[in-house]
Structure 1
Amino acid sequence: MAQITFKENPVTLLGNEVKVGEKAPEFKVLANDLSEVTLADSKGKVRLISVVPSIDTGVCDQQTRRFNEEAASLSNVEILTISVDLPFAQKRWCAAAGIENVQTLSDHRELSFGQAFGVAIKELRLLARAVFVIDSNDEVTYAEYVSEATNHPDYEAAINAAKEAK
C-alpha cells in the first residue's frame, strides 16, 4: 500500500493500491449536475484522472488548472478531476476559474473512487493526491500516489503517459 502523509502526518488509505498493468477498477461518482458517472461511461477513451483532496486549496487549484491547460495537447484524452468536494462547489469553482477542458467529479457520496483506487484518507474523509492514466482498454498505464498530499504530482510524467496511451 502507498505510504502517504498529509501535512507530514501519516494517514491511512482505504482500498487497494492500483498498479500499472492492472485493469482499472469500476467506480461511481457524481457529475456537477448530480448524474452518476462510472468508468464504463468513458469506455474506449484514454483517461487521465487527476485526484485532489479539495479543489479550493492552492495545490489542487494549480493541479486542475495545469491539466486544463494541457488538454489542448491531449486531443485523444478525457481529463477527469475527482475530489470529495460537493458537485455544487466544483461547478462554482470551475465557472470562477474558467475550467472548460476538465470534467470535475465528486466522490463525496460513497467514496467509491477513493476506495477502488486506494486513495480514500480514513482520518480526513478526503482523497489523497494522485494521478492515473487509463487506456482505451481500461488498463492502468500510469499511477502516481503523491507521497505528501500537499505536494504537486509529476505533471510531465502524467502528460507523457497520457500521450503514449492508446
Structure 2
Amino acid sequence: MATITFQGKPINTVGELPAVGSPAPDFLLTNRKMQDVGLAEFAGKRKVLNIVPSLDTPTCAASTRKFNEKAAHLPNTVVFAISADLPFAQVRFCEIEGIKHVVPLSTFRSSFAHDYGVELLDSILAGLTARAIVVIDEHDKVVYTQLVAEIADEPDYATALAALD
C-alpha cells in the first residue's frame, strides 16, 4: 500500500507500482471500439502509461495534452491515457482536444488498477486510479515509474520521457 494525498489529505492505494526492472504485468483495458486490449497488441513497442483518475479533470486533461504533444516525436513508442472513464467519454475528450497521438484506454471492466497498485482505497476518489506514470520498454520490462505524491499535481514529464533514451 502506498499513501499519496488529495488536496493535502492522505489517500491509500491498494498496492505499489510494478518494480523497475520487473516484467510489466499484462493487462486488459478497453479501447475506443469497446475491445479489450493487452500488452500483446503493442509487442515490440515502448509504452508510456499515463495513468489518471479521470480525463474530465484539469490536471488529467493537461497531462494527456502534454503527452500527446511529446508522443508525436517518440519513435517506436505508444502513449496511453488510462482512466476509469468510459471509452465513449474518452473518445469525446480526445476529439474535442485534438488528441491524436495518445491511445485512450479504460479500466472500467478490468483489474488493471488493482494489478498495477494504483486503485484508490479511500476518500471521495475511492475506486479511481492514482496519478502515475509507468514506462515499459519494447521487451515489456518496466524501466520507470512515478506515483505522483499529490494527485492534483502533474507528473514529471521530463524524467519519464528520459527513461525512453
The alignment's TM-score, normalised by the length of structure 1, stands at: 0.93
2:104 corresponding residue in structure 1: 104
Whether 1:46 and 2:52 are equivalent positions in the alignment is no
> Helix, strand or coil: the match of 1:126?
coil
Whether 1:131 and 2:133 are equivalent positions in the alignment is yes
Task: Render the CA deviation track for 1:132-163: whole Å, top value 9, x for unaligned.
Answer: 1100111000000001111010010011112x
CA contact (8 A) 2:94 2:100 kept: yes
CA contact (8 A) 1:15 1:114 kept: no
2:154 corresponding residue in structure 1: 152
CA contact (8 A) 1:15 1:119 kept: yes
2:120 corresponding residue in structure 1: 121
2:17 corresponding residue in structure 1: 17
Q: Which runs of 4+ in 1 moved over 3 A?
A: none
Task: Render the CA deviation track for 1:12-64: whole Å, top value 9, x for unaligned.
Answer: 21244311111111111100111001122212110011011110110100000
CA separation in 2, counterparts of 1:15 and 1:86? Answer: 24
Whether 1:91 and 2:91 are equivalent positions in the alignment is yes
The alignment's TM-score, normalised by the length of structure 2, stands at: 0.94
CA contact (8 A) 1:16 1:115 kept: no
Deviation at 1:93, TM superposition (A): 0.5
% identical aligned pairs = 43
> Helix, strand or coil: the match of 1:55?
coil
Task: Render the CA deviation track for 1:79-137: whole Å, top value 9, x for unaligned.
Answer: 01100001100000000000000000000123x21111100112221100000110011
Q: Which amino acid aligns with 1:115?
A: H
CA separation in 2, counterparts of 1:7 and 1:109? Answer: 28
CA contact (8 A) 2:2 2:14 kept: no
CA separation in 1, counterparts of 2:147 and 2:16? Answer: 12
| Count of paired positions | 162
**5+ residue gaps in structure 2?**
none
Normalized per residue, which structure has more helix? Answer: 1
Give the CA RMSD over aligned residues: 1.1
Whether 1:2 and 2:7 are equivalent positions in the alignment is no
CA contact (8 A) 2:2 2:12 kept: no
Q: Which amino acid aligns with 2:116?
A: F
Q: Which amino acid aligns with 1:42?
A: F
